[in-house]
C-alpha cells in the first residue's frame, strides 16, 4: 500500500519505534485533530486498552498498522459547514457529519446529511439526532411492520410497496439441510427503511405543519484508504424533498448533481400524488403546492399530507467513482439553490484553500444574491481536491454581484443593499406599528391607521430584471392589501406581528418615515 495516500491533509507526524506498547496520546496538526489508539509493536491492537470510538471519529489505519481517529467536527480541512438563518427569524436548517458502522460492510461509512425544516424545528431536530442511529439499527423484520403501518393510511395504500423492499415482505427464514440462513439488508434497503421508520415516528409526535426535507450521503472508501485519499469511492445518496447533493467532476470542472427535487412539476411526482387522492393548487407567486400546503411532494413529518402521498420514501442514488475524478461533494439546502445554479455552487468552491472556507463562500454568495430562506452548505473534501479546473460561471457571478442591488422582491428589501440594515428597519417599523406590544393584532383598518399615525411610507419593488430599476408600488393601501393576499387571509381577518414579518419578507417591503 502506498503510504503517501494515507497522508493526513496539512498535518505531519512521526511515531518512534519502541519495544513497549504505545500509550494513548493526543496529537494535533494544523487544523486537524486526531488521537492514536494503543497498539503493540507488531501492529496488533491491544483489545484491553482500545478506547471506545464516538460517532464523530473516523478511524484511519496506516501502512505501519497504527490506528488513528480523526474528529470530523474539528477537521476544517476535511469537512466544512456553514449555516445561517438568512432573512428568517429562526434557523430551521440542520446538518450532521459522523460515521456509521453496518454489520454487512467491513469498513466504516462516512455519514453526511443536511435537513431543511419547515413549520417548526421539532421534526428537523429529531432527524439530525436520530436518523443515523435508525440506519444502523434496521433489520429485515422491520420491513413488514413499516409497510403495514403505511398501508393503514387508506384503501389507496393497500398495495403499497416501497422501492427495494418488495423482496423482504412476508419472507421467513428458510433452512437448507438443517442450516438456517439469516436475511441481510442491502445498503439501499436499509436507507429506505430508516427514512420510512423515522417518518412514522415523527408523524406520531409532531404538530400540524411541522416537517422537513433532507439528503444523506454515505461515502464508503475502498481498499482500506481514508476517504480523502481513496482510489475508489462508493457514494450512496438517500434524498427527500429539495435539498441537494452535488459532486464536482475534475475532468471538466462541471457540476454532477445527484438529486432531483421532489416538486409537483415533476411528472412522476405529480402522478404519484394523484394516485393517492392528492391535489395541487397555486400560491400567490404561481408556484404549485401539494394539497394546498406543501412545496414538496415528499417530506418527513407533515402529518396532514401523509394519506395523500407526502411521505419520506427516498430516492436512492448510487455512484461508484475513481477517487481522482471527484474533487469535492457539496450538500446544500434550498436557501442556496433558490438563488444559485449547481454550476455556480461548484465554481465557488474550486479556488478555496479548504472546505470550511468553501462553505462560508457559498453562504456568502447566497446572501448577496438575496436568498430569503435559511442557508446551509456542507463541503466534503474528496481525493481530487486541489485539481486545477476552469471557473465556468465567473462572468455570470460577477455580473449578478454588480447588479444585486436592483434585484426583485424575493431577494430582500429593494431600497437597501445592506440586508442587515433592511432587517433592522423591518423590526423597528413593526414594533412601531404595534406600539411596542400595546397591540397584539391589527385589522386591515387598524393597520392603515397606524401607518398614517406614524407617517410611515411602505413600498414594494416589483417586476425587475437584473440591471433594471425597480418599479415601486408606493400606495399604502396597495401594500396593506398585499399583506393579506400573500398570506392568503381574508380582509376581515387580523394580523399579528409574526404575520406581518412573514408577509414583509415574502414581498420585499421597504419602509421610511416621512
Rounded CA-CA distance 245/248 in Å is 10
Q: Exposed e or buried b for every residue in 212-245, given b needs 16+ CB within 10 A?
A: bbbbbbbbbbeeebbbbbbebbbbbbbbbbbbbb
Residue 354 has pLDDT above 90, yes or no: yes
Please state, in angstroms and rounded to a whole number, the distance separating the CA atoms of residues 509 and 413.
Answer: 6
Predicted local confidence at residue 19, as pLDDT: 34
Whether 42 shows a pLDDT value over 60: the answer reads no
In the predicted model, is pLDDT for residue 197 greater than 90?
Answer: yes
Mean of the pLDDT values across residues 94-123? 90
Nearest to 320 by CA among 388, 385, 393, 258: 258
Report the distance separating Cα 377 and Cα 359, nearest Å.
5
- The region of weakest confidence among 77-81, 192-196, 248-252, 405-409 is 405-409
* CA distance to 200, 358, 494, per residue, from 54 (Å): 27, 27, 51
Residue 412: pLDDT band (50, 70, 90) is very low
Closest residue by Cα to residue 507 from 86, 87, 91, 85: 87
pLDDT of residue 18: 34
What was the pLDDT predicted at 70?
Answer: 87
CATH topology of domain 57-171+184-391: Phosphatase 2c; domain 1 (3.60.40)
Task: Say whether pLDDT at 438 is over 90.
Answer: no
Q: Print burial letters for 327-366: b (CB count within 10 Å at least 16), e (below 16).
A: bbbbbbbbbbbbbbebbbbbbbbbebebbbbbbbbbbebb
* Region of poorest pLDDT, from 98-102, 334-338, 480-484: 480-484
Residues of the chain with pLDDT > 90: what percent? 44
272-320 tens-digit pLDDT: 999 999 888 877 666 788 888 888 999 999 988 888 999 999 999 999 9
| pLDDT for residue 135 | 93
Counting every residue, how long is the chain?
514
- The pLDDT assigned to 144 comes to 93
Of 412 and 320, the one with more pLDDT = 320
C-alpha cell recorded at residue 82: 456553514
How does residue 134 score in pLDDT terms, banded at 50, 70 and 90? Answer: very high
42: exposed, middle or buried (Cβ count in 10 Å: 0-12, 13-18, 19+): exposed
Condensed to tens digits (0 to 9), the pLDDT of residues 1-41 reads: 444 444 455 443 333 333 333 333 333 333 333 333 333 33
Helical residues (DSSP H) of 109-235, grouped into ranges = 122-137, 142-151, 187-205
On average, the pLDDT of the chain sits at: 79
Residue closest to 96 by CA, chosen among 202, 212, 204, 197: 212
Which segment of 148-152, 254-258, 421-425 scores lowest on mean pLDDT?
Answer: 421-425
Instruction: Answer yes or no: is pLDDT of 391 > 90.
Output: yes
Report DSSP letters for 219-247, one per residue. EEESTT--TTT-SEEEEEEEEESS-EEEE
Q: Phi-psi region for residue 347, left (φ > 0), alpha (ψ -120 to 50) or beta?
A: alpha
Confidence band of 469 (pLDDT split at 50, 70, 90): very low
**409 burial via Cβ count (<10 Å: 0-12, 13-18, 19+):** buried
Cα dihedral value 486, 488, 489, 495, nearest 10: -40
Alpha-carbon distance of 377 to 126, in angstroms, equals 20
How confident is the model over 161-184, as a mean pLDDT? 69
Longest dimension (CA), the chain: 91
pLDDT value of residue 163: 93
- pLDDT tens, 450-463? 888 888 888 765 43
Mean local confidence (pLDDT), 486-508 = 76
pLDDT in tens, 69-80: 888 888 889 999
**Confidence (pLDDT) at 507:** 66
DSSP 52: P
DSSP, collapsed to helix, strand or coil, labels residue 80 as strand
Helices of type H across 187-287:
187-205, 267-275
Amino acid at each position: 500500500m502506498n503510504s503517501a495516500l494515507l497522508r493526513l491533509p496539512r498535518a505531519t507526524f512521526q511515531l518512534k519505534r519502541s519495544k513497549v506498547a504505545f500509550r494513548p496520546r493526543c496529537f494535533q496538526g494544523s487544523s486537524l485533530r486526531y488521537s492514536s489508539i494503543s497498539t503493540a509493536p507488531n501492529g496488533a491492537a491491544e483489545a484491553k486498552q482500545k478506547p471506545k470510538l464516538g460517532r464523530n471519529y473516523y478511524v484511519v489505519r496506516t501502512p505501519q498498522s497504527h490506528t488513528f481517529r480523526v474528529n470530523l467536527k474539528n477537521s476544517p480541512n476535511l469537512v466544512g459547514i456553514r449555516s445561517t438563518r438568512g432573512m428568517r427569524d429562526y434557523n430551521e436548517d440542520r446538518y450532521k457529519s459522523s460515521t456509521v458502522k453496518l454489520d454487512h460492510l467491513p469498513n466504516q461509512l462516512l455519514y453526511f446529511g443536511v435537513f431543511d425544516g419547515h413549520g417548526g424545528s421539532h421534526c428537523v431536530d429529531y432527524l439530525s439526532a436520530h436518523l443515523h442511529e435508525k440506519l444502523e439499527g434496521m433489520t429485515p423484520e422491520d420491513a413488514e411492520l413499516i409497510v403495514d403501518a403505511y398501508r393503514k393510511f387508506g384503501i389507496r395504500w393497500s398495495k403499497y410497496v416501497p422501492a427495494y423492499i418488495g423482496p423482504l415482505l412476508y419472507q421467513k427464514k428458510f433452512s437448507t439441510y438443517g442450516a438456517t440462513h439469516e436475511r441481510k439488508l442491502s445498503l439501499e434497503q436499509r436507507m429506505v427503511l430508516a427514512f420510512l421508520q423515522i417518518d412514522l415516528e415523527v408523524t406520531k409526535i409532531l404538530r400540524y405543519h411541522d416537517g422537513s426535507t433532507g439528503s444523506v450521503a454515505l461515502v464508503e472508501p475502498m481498499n482500506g484508504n481514508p476517504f480523502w485519499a481513496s482510489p475508489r469511492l462508493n457514494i450512496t445518496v438517500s434524498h427527500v424533498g429539495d435539498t441537494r447533493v452535488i459532486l464536482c467532476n475534475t475532468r471538466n470542472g462541471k457540476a454532477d448533481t445527484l438529486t432531483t427535487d421532489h416538486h409537483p412539476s415533476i411528472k412522476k411526482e405529480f402522478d404519484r400524488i394523484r394516485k393517492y387522492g392528492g391535489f395541487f393548487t397555486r400560491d400567490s407567486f404561481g408556484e404549485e403546492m401539494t394539497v394546498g400546503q406543501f412545496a414538496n411532494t415528499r417530506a418527513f413529518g407533515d402529518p396532514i399530507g401523509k394519506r395523500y402521498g407526502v411521505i419520506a420514501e427516498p430516492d436512492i442514488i448510487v455512484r461508484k467513482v475513481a477517487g481522482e475524478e471527484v474533487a469535492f461533494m457539496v450538500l446544500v439546502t434550498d436557501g442556496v439553490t433558490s438563488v444559485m445554479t449547481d454550476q455556480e455552487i461548484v465554481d465557488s468552491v474550486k479556488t478555496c484553500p479548504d472546505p470550511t472556507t468553501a462553505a462560508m463562500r457559498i453562504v456568502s454568495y447566497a446572501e448577496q444574491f438575496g436568498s430569503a430562506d435559511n442557508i446551509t452548505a456542507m463541503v466534503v473534501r474528496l481525493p481530487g481536491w486541489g485539481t486545477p479546473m476552469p471557473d465556468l460561471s465567473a462572468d455570470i457571478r460577477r455580473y449578478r454581484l454588480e447588479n444585486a442591488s436592483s434585484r426583485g422582491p424575493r431577494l430582500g428589501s429593494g431600497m437597501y443593499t445592506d440586508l442587515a440594515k433592511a432587517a433592522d428597519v423591518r423590526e423597528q417599523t413593526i414594533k412601531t406599528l404595534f406600539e411596542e406590544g400595546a397591540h397584539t393584532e391589527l385589522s386591515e383598518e387598524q393597520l392603515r391607521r397606524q401607518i398614517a399615525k406614524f407617517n410611515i411610507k411602505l413600498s414594494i419593488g416589483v417586476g425587475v430584471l437584473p440591471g433594471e430599476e425597480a418599479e415601486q408600488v408606493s400606495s399604502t393601501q396597495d401594500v396593506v392589501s398585499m399583506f393579506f393576499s400573500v398570506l392568503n387571509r381574508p380582509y376581515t381577518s387580523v394580523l399579528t406581528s409574526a404575520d406581518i414579518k412573514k408577509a414583509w419578507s415574502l414581498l420585499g417591503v421597504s419602509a421610511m418615515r416621512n
